[in-house]
């Protein structure tokens, strides 16, 4: 489905639908870019263990450069969230990113032979710089909804590709986390697991629910802004994989 075939207003999209979701409208507005991002060869080769380690190391360095700004954006969302019920899951996710995920990055850099100087002071690529600018712009241009417009697709895309890879490559009947049946280096297997474990799936569902609640209450102008931010995020997710895969 192309963006042009999806109504450019949520009201028109929701009209006549029994259970419309604001996030479904946003996702459909991205057209084929969504599929290109979640089914990118980069993630397929990562899951198969055939992705060159040099390309993956470069990818992780750029992703780590992005994470610092992402933490700040989640922090902004905590401040803007309407009430403790919305703040608590965001805070809990921040704890995962700054603890468990940060530990993963550091162990992976060491295993991949990445010098400290490369990941501590990375040189952002053009796509990484665009992503960093987008995160800052989302906060500057609005409030909670605009921030969610970037956070939701950023986490949702990762959920989709990780679940697809895990379901494809896990041995039937394997116990434990999604990639327990894979014979992969930990830096591949754990990256998949981090984005396919039940707690992350539930968090993305919750994030979507927040935007589903907020979106329909926005003015038409803000809905258009959220739509642009969401589509730009998906396009950059694709570009991020494309850039890393191009070096493999």
Encoded tokens for 44: 């397929």
Alpha-carbon distance 118 to 115, whole Å?
A: 6
**What percent of the chain stands above pLDDT 70?**
92
Whole-angstrom Cα distance, residue 112 to residue 246? 19
The 10 Å Cβ neighbour count of residue 36 is: 17
Band the pLDDT of 231: cuts 50, 70, 90.
Answer: very high
- Alpha-carbon gap, residue 147 to 226, rounded angstroms: 9
Segment 22-50, tens digit of pLDDT: 999 999 999 999 999 999 999 999 999 99
Domain boundaries, the chain: 52-246
Report whether pLDDT(144) > 90: yes
* CATH of region 52-246, choose from 1.20.910.10, 1.10.645.10, 3.30.1950.10, 1.10.3720.10: 1.20.910.10
Mean pLDDT of 83-92: 94
| Cβ-contact 148, 210 below 8 angstroms | yes
Locus of tokens 């700004």: 69
Confidence of residue 67 (pLDDT cuts 50, 70, 90): confident
Q: Which residue has the higher pLDDT, 224 or 168?
A: 224
Structure confidence at residue 4 as a pLDDT band (50, 70, 90): low
Q: Does residue 20 carry a pLDDT above 50?
A: yes
pLDDT band for position 9 (cuts 50, 70, 90): very high
pLDDT at 138: 86
Read off the pLDDT of each residue in 225-240 and give the average, rounded to a whole number: 97
Q: Which of 57, 48, 245 is nearest to 165 (CA)?
A: 48
Instruction: Determine the average pLDDT of the residues in 75-98.
Output: 92
Residue-wise pLDDT tens digits, 171-228: 433 444 444 445 899 999 999 999 999 999 999 999 999 999 999 999 999 999 999 9
Rounded CA-CA distance 3/25 in Å is: 10
Q: Which among 89, 239, 104, 217 is positioned nearest to 152, based on CA atoms?
A: 89
């Amino acid at each position: 489905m192309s963006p042009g075939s999806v109504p450019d207003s949520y009201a028109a999209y929701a009209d006549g639908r029994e259970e419309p979701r604001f996030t479904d409208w946003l996702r459909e507005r991205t057209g084929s870019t969504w599929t290109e991002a979640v089914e990118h060869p980069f993630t397929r080769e990562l899951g198969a263990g055939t992705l060159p380690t040099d390309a993956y190391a470069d990818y992780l360095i750029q992703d780590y450069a992005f994470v610092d700004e992402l933490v700040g954006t989640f922090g902004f969302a905590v401040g803007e969230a309407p009430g403790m019920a919305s703040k608590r899951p965001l805070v809990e996710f921040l704890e995962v990113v700054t603890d468990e995920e940060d530990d993963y990055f550091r162990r992976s850099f060491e295993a991949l032979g990445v010098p400290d100087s490369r990941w501590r002071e990375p040189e952002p690529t053009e796509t990484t710089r665009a992503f960093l600018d987008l995160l800052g712009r989302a906060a500057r241009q609005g409030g909670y909804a605009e921030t969610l417009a970037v956070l939701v697709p950023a986490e949702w895309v990762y959920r989709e590709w990780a679940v697809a890879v895990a379901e494809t490559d896990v041995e039937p009947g394997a116990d434990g986390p999604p990639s327990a049946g894979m014979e992969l280096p930990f830096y591949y297997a754990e990256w998949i697991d981090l984005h396919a474990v039940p707690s992350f799936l539930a968090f993305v569902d919750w994030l979507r629910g927040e935007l589903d609640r907020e979106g329909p209450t926005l003015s038409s102008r803000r809905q258009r802004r959220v739509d642009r931010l969401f589509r730009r995020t998906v396009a950059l997710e694709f570009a991020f994989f494309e850039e890393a895969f191009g070096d493999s």
